């Protein structure tokens, strides 16, 4: 079974390719080049059907999607007749939100005969199981993580985000379209509204959305996340065990220790 990795930006596609049992056939949307990974084929959404046929011609029967991709601006002049028939369906899904868009993409791959695999199927080592990976988690941290988990579950149910920051029971920020880095940068700028850090510096929490299709768009954290958490003055990172991709566990553990953060895969 030949697997294609549909890669977006960031470090995740390269980490995923390295963790897979066999080197994947790598394809990437035009303008979204993955870091540290050679691309075998680029494509445009306006030419989606010819791209899917090219995958089949290359012997691909399974696909994995990973990496950051922004919604493209479509050029109607580039549409081929077969893709044009799919366009109204895709546009309707895009207007309904990210989850609906991803579901539509998965359905199209399935209709063209491709199995869609998730990270836990092709590279399960990237999804840590329960346990404290670095530092010490206090009862205050546990309470803040529990509060953040409630918030993330509520936001995820309406397709808003996968992360939140809570300090001493107070929600300082939630993740929305701008993403994790923007949220943590905003937390770093909070002044007098922030509770006394001596009583607990706060937690950044990350989790999959309730009912999320686990084959696509699982949340991801990495060393850069830890640096942003430290810059925001927080005490550490908690995440949903088995549902959050960690880039380079060894580096993250070492860095958490250097930065004085805890790193906790919460059951």
CATH of the domain at 166: 3.40.140.80
Residue 39 pLDDT: 96
Please indicate, yes or no, whether residues 132 and 49 belong to a single structural domain of this protein.
no
Q: Is pLDDT above 80 for 94? A: no
Cβ atoms of 183 and 199 within 8 Å: the answer is no
Mean pLDDT of 44-62: 95
CATH number at residue 68: 3.40.50.20
Classify the C-alpha dihedral 71-159-220-186 as positive or negative. Answer: positive
Please indicate, yes or no, whether residues 14 and 104 belong to a single structural domain of this protein.
yes
Mean pLDDT of 218-232: 96
Please indicate, yes or no, whether residues 7 and 71 belong to a single structural domain of this protein.
yes
Boundaries of domain holding 223: 127-266
Q: Is pLDDT above 90 for 258? A: yes
Q: Is pLDDT above 70 for 98? A: no
Q: Is pLDDT above 70 for 108? A: yes
Please say which residue of 122, 148, 164 terminates a domain.
122
Q: Is pLDDT above 70 for 97? A: no
Between the CA of residue 98 and those of 37, 68, 86, 212, what are the distances in Å? 26, 12, 17, 11
Helix axes 98-111, 81-96, angle to 10 degrees: 150
Distance CA 200, CA 165 (A): 12
CA triple 104-106-107, angle to 5 deg: 65
Please say which residue of 122, 145, 170 terminates a domain.
122
Tell me which of 27-41, 94-108, 178-192 is least confident. 94-108
Please indicate, yes or no, whether residues 103 and 222 belong to a single structural domain of this protein.
no
Please say which residue of 102, 122, 142 terminates a domain.
122
Going by pLDDT thresholds of 50, 70 and 90, the confidence category of residue 48 is very high
Residue 90 pLDDT: 81
pTM of the predicted structure, to 2 decimals: 0.89
User: What residues contact 204, with CB distance under 8 A and at least 6 apart?
Assistant: 148, 163, 164, 165, 184, 225, 229, 232, 234, 236, 237, 238
Please indicate, yes or no, whether residues 259 and 149 belong to a single structural domain of this protein.
yes
Cβ atoms of 78 and 20 within 8 Å: the answer is no
Q: What mean pLDDT, rounded, does the chain reach?
A: 92
How many structural domains comprise the chain? 2
Closest CA to 201 of 252, 133, 146, 261: 261
Tell me which of 84-98, 189-203, 213-227 is least confident. 84-98
Distance CA 134, CA 265 (A): 10
Cβ atoms of 221 and 196 within 8 Å: the answer is no
- Compute how many other C-beta atoms are within 10 angstroms of the C-beta atom of residue 85: 11
Residue 93 pLDDT: 79
Please indicate, yes or no, whether residues 132 and 251 belong to a single structural domain of this protein.
yes
- What does the pLDDT look like over 6-32, one tens digit per residue? 999 999 999 999 999 999 999 999 988
Please indicate, yes or no, whether residues 240 and 139 belong to a single structural domain of this protein.
yes
């Amino acid at each position: 079974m030949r697997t294609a990795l549909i890669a977006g930006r960031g470090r995740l596609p390269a980490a995923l390719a390295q963790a897979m049992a066999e080197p994947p056939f790598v394809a990437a949307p035009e303008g979204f080049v993955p870091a540290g990974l050679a691309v075998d084929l680029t494509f445009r959404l306006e030419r989606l059907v010819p791209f899917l046929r090219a995958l089949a011609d290359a012997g691909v029967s399974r696909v994995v999607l990973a990496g950051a991709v922004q919604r493209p601006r479509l050029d109607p002049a580039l549409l081929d007749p077969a893709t044009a028939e799919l366009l109204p369906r895709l546009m309707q899904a895009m207007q309904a939100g990210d989850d609906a868009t991803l579901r539509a993409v998965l359905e199209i791959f399935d209709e063209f005969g491709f199995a869609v695999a998730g990270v836990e199927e092709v590279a399960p080592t990237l999804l840590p199981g329960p346990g404290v990976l670095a530092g010490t988690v206090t009862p205050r941290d546990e309470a803040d993580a529990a509060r953040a988990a409630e918030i993330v579950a509520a936001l995820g149910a309406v397709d808003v985000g996968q992360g939140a920051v809570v300090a001493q029971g107070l929600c300082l920020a939630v993740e929305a379209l701008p993403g994790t880095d923007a949220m943590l940068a905003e937390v770093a700028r909070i002044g007098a509204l922030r509770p006394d850090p001596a009583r607990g510096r706060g937690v950044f929490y990350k989790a999959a959305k309730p009912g999320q299709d686990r084959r696509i768009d699982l949340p991801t954290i990495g060393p850069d996340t830890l640096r942003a958490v430290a810059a925001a003055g927080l005490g550490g990172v908690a995440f949903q065990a088995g549902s959050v991709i960690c880039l380079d566990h060894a580096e993250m553990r070492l860095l958490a220790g250097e930065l004085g953060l805890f790193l906790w895969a919460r059951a």
